[in-house]
Amino acid sequence: MNPQKYKANRLLRRRLHVRKTVVGTPERPRLALYRSNKHIHCQIIDDYQGHTLVSMTTTKKDIREEMAGKRSVETAREMGKRFGALVLEKGIEKVVFDRAGRKFHGRVKAFAEGAREGGLKF
pTM above 0.85, yes or no: yes
In a domain? residue 90 = yes
In a domain? residue 122 = no
CATH number for the domain spanning 17: value is 3.30.420.100
Helix axes 72-89, 107-117, angle to 10 degrees: 40
Around 2, how many Cα atoms within 13 Å sit in the side-chain half-sphere?
Answer: 4
In a domain? residue 22 = yes
In a domain? residue 69 = yes
Tell me the pLDDT tens digit for each residue of 49-80. Answer: 999 999 999 999 988 898 888 899 999 999 99
How many domains are there within the chain?
Answer: 1
3-state SS, residue 76:
helix
Instruction: Provide mean pLDDT across the span 35-48.
Output: 94
pLDDT for position 18: 87
Domain span at residue 36 reads: 3-117
